[in-house]
Structure 1
Amino acid sequence: MVTLDGKPVSADDLLPLALTNTGHFTSMRVSADGSIRGLTLHMERLVRDCAIVWGAELDPERVRGYVRQGLEGQSRPCVVRVTIYDPKVGMGRPADADDPHVLVSVRSAGALPPEPLRAQSVVYERDLPEVKHVGLFGALHARGAAQRAGFDDALFVGKDGLVSEGGTWNVAFVDQEGTVVWPDAPVLPGVTMALLQQHAEHRVATVTLEQAKGMAAAFATNTSIGVRLLSAIDDVEFPVDHPVLRQLQEAYLSIPGETL
């Protein structure tokens, strides 16, 4: 069931979201025991993005309550998505929308870790990259084009030639010395990325596409996939058995979840 402010959602409720594509969200993986890794960070994201998108305050305890309600009777593990939008938003006067509501939806979760992915590099920069917003047309169009070309997903490279992020995931690399390198570029501040940065040594640096292809290993992160290995960027293959990758996967799985 999908709910809006704790009540079953109607087609009329969803129509403004579909027609304007204006809102922001976070997705959280719920473990079998009901806990969520990085729950506090997810709530902080929603509050921060609500101020940016809507100029409004968001009560995280209210959100937690709606999420608990949405998870009742759901099989676990699962992924719960919280979308924040104002049903009265319109194309003519979006500034008039200042009363965001909470849409909660739940889907099943895949196994961790998922299979390695092959990424095709594309020149693309997301709008307002610091916000996890619902404007996914460009990212999904790039993903679809990459899949039609025989890849699993797209890896974004800015007009400046610097690697930034993936379709719906952060990317990082392991250099030849075994250090984890996160790209210094306009990217979504991912929750899984933040958790790993707290539990593994790393550095942040600009990474060109050529430099990326010269790394010892590469991986993607988000809350649904945890640490997912990259087996290729374009025609360059990467090993999926690098010891640092295994350490990162183990480190992520060892992070305790938080309860709602």
Structure 2
Amino acid sequence: MINGIDMKRIPQHIAIIMDGNGRWAVEKGKERSFGHQAGVETVRRITSECVRLGVKYLTLYTFSTENWNRPATEVQALMGLVLSSLEDEIFMKNNVRFQVIGDLKRLPQEVQDKLQETMAHTAKNDAMTMVVALSYSSRWEITEACRQIALEVAGKVKNGEQVDIENLITEDVLSKHMNTSFMPDPDLLIRTGGELRISNYLLWQIAYSELYFCDTYWPDFSEEDLQRAILSFQKRQRRFGKTEQQVEENK
């Protein structure tokens, strides 16, 4: 354990952009799929460490809607990796509940079936919830939320019901229609691999998240790297628009 971590101030929700798998493999003279396989091992280690530290939600950016544009062979390998990784007993061993967000209709049927099976199998686990963002992008999610609201309103108008125009679209209404409505917003967003961007990930939800970027490729991201990110988080003052004095007075 890295010195200085306050176990009473562990972020309850950590979101991670697991970047660098392909570059890690290429630098080793391997196929990109080799890097994705190594990345699964890192997921296992980081999941166990998050449970040990007391994190309650871990959200992992696994496959974006933009990733569908990658070579077909890589996409196929990634889908196969999703299937094989869901066989892992890490969920039951660590008492972890599994959830998934994203445009799941685009996934192969066997992947959809396995996702549903894993969610049902782990539904009663309560040490931590691991959320996999699969075929996901934030712009898709926000657009889909607006579409669902519009469909609900259209249904009410068709049935002759009264529509409250003033409160038709509020932050609370939008949040309730997001894929992530079942969990709190991330306290900490980590991106590995050296890139300094968000890449269409949880844009609505990270409005007040602390951001942490590191150069380490995801396959090399260790438990100590996670602890460093948490320590960085704990050294920051989260004001949420308030002054430093107000924050101190409310402690």
Q: When the two structures are superposed, what TM-score results if normalisation uses the length of structure 1?
A: 0.23
Q: Highest Rg: 1 or 2?
A: 2
Larger relative helix fraction? 2
Q: When the two structures are superposed, what TM-score results if normalisation uses the length of structure 2?
A: 0.24
Larger relative strand fraction? 1
Q: Which has the higher contact order (CA 8 A, sep 6+)?
A: 2
